[in-house]
Structure 1
Amino acid sequence: MFTVLSQGTFMLRGDMTHIIWDWNGTLFHDIDAVIGATNELFQPYGLGPYDVDGFREVYTRPIWVAYERMLGRSLREGEWEVLDRGFHEHYHRLMEACQLAEGAVSSLRAWEESGRSQSLLSMWGHDRLVGKVGDFGISGHFLRVDGLRSASGGTKAEHMVAHLRALDLDPAKVVVIGDSVDDADAARHVGARAILYAGGMTRRSDLDLVGVPVVDSLAAALDLV
């Protein structure tokens, strides 16, 4: 559970032994690529361009709901698949310029040196995720790395179930660190705790409504565990 130290301040109890990290918007600071790809995708619709604040106003998961917000209508049959494919074509080009979030490597190293374990669960394609984690030289910090092995765009909850099952972990000793309401929902779904990072895709005001700690840096997230 979380202990309230003072109004608006939380500390996790000390028996947390495993962190499940999110990737996009958390360990991987790719918001510029996400916004750039979104702007290219929706330019033919006469929408945008979005800046960081404007994008955070419409962003949510599942992502097709965000697209419907942007369009002001429901997606037509087959439109989601076209948009999802187009987004990733732009994103996979633009994300090559992105780097790890500030404090990512030091946080991973510090948690490992504490003798506890960590893993990575992302809603990005599995093969690309594994490759990018390897490119940054951080694969060795994780017991397991899981991305999507099927269609993208949905919620994280059931993927969290499978991830925990594969690791054979007690969810009561697990904390999820991510940047979206979906990360907190997935943690709650399996009985784990969550800390949300405000440096990613979701606006701070939405994160503050979830009822879990919200931090402005990965180092601050680690300090809470």
Structure 2
Amino acid sequence: MRHIIWDWNGTLFHDIDAVVAATNAVFAPYGMGGYDVDGFREVYTRPIWTAYERMLGRPLEEGEWERMDHAFHEHYHRLMLECGLAADALSTLRSWEREGGSQSLLSMWRHEMLVAKIAEYGIDRHFTRVDGLLDTFSGGHKAESMVNHLARLGVDPENVLVIGDSVDDAHAAQHVGARAVLYTGGMTSRRDLEACGVPVVDSLADAIDYA
């Protein structure tokens, strides 16, 4: 493997506390008690509206997903200011660069915010390409975004390792014929990650050993 495609939220960016707190704020008007991190991981899935339906115990009504998604991001963008890079994110990016490998970033977070945030942390120079979500609403699957990202990179998927924190990252990698390693620092339980049949690690440094 000579190219790594990184995920952002829950992988390089350690934002699980902000995600859980923002989700709790969205569901507070429904009279629902708050989740802790472990409880949230038990119900989390993608697409995110499926997780919301699981939390509510019913299908979402017309327009409800859009309202909830908007509310989530209002809360998240306030709470994420208290978050930072994963503990070994910077050292791992530098380590892979020293190994002579290339790396890029593919996220389902909003593109303009993603670009600004990685520039703020001074890590943008590590990536040959950065792609975020261009649609108004988030929550879909990552596979098609992965197809487009690889096409723009011009990299053979056989030479690619995808590192992310969700089942969706593994499915996106499999969709294009790349390999995947899943990291336990994000929104998905270890049980669900291990069910994907790909390596699961507790640190980003361990993840690049598979590259």
Q: What residue is the counterpart of 1:6 in the other structure?
A: none
Equivalent residue of 1:153, what SS? coil
TM-score with structure 1 setting the length? 0.92
Structure 1 distance, partners of 2:73, 2:110, is: 10
Task: Number of aligned residue pairs: give it.
Answer: 210
1:62 aligned onto 2:41: no
Structure 2 residue 102 is matched with structure 1 residue 129: no
Distance 2:150 2:33 in 1: 39
Give the aligned partner of residue 210 of structure 1: 196
Match of 2:131 in 1: 146
Match of 1:29 in 2: 14
Give the fraction of aligned pairs with identical amino acids, expressed as a percent: 70
How do 1:1-225 and structure 2 match up within 5 A?
16-150=1-135, 151-225=137-211
Gaps of 5+ in 1: 1-15
SS at match of 2:161: strand
Q: Runs in 1 of length 4+ with deviation above 4 angstroms?
A: none
For residues 120 and 171 of structure 1, the distance between their equivalents in structure 2, rounded to whole angstroms, comes to 15
Give the CA deviation at 1:48. 2.4
Displacement of 1:222 after TM fit?
A: 1.3
- Structure 2: state its 5+ residue gaps: none
Deviation at 1:223, TM superposition (A): 1.8
RMSD between aligned alpha carbons?
0.6
1:224 Cα deviation (Å)? Answer: 2.3
For 2:30 and 2:203, the matched residues in 1 are separated by: 35
The two structures have a TM-score, normalised by structure 2, of 0.98
Task: State the secondary structure of the residue aligned to 2:5.
Answer: strand
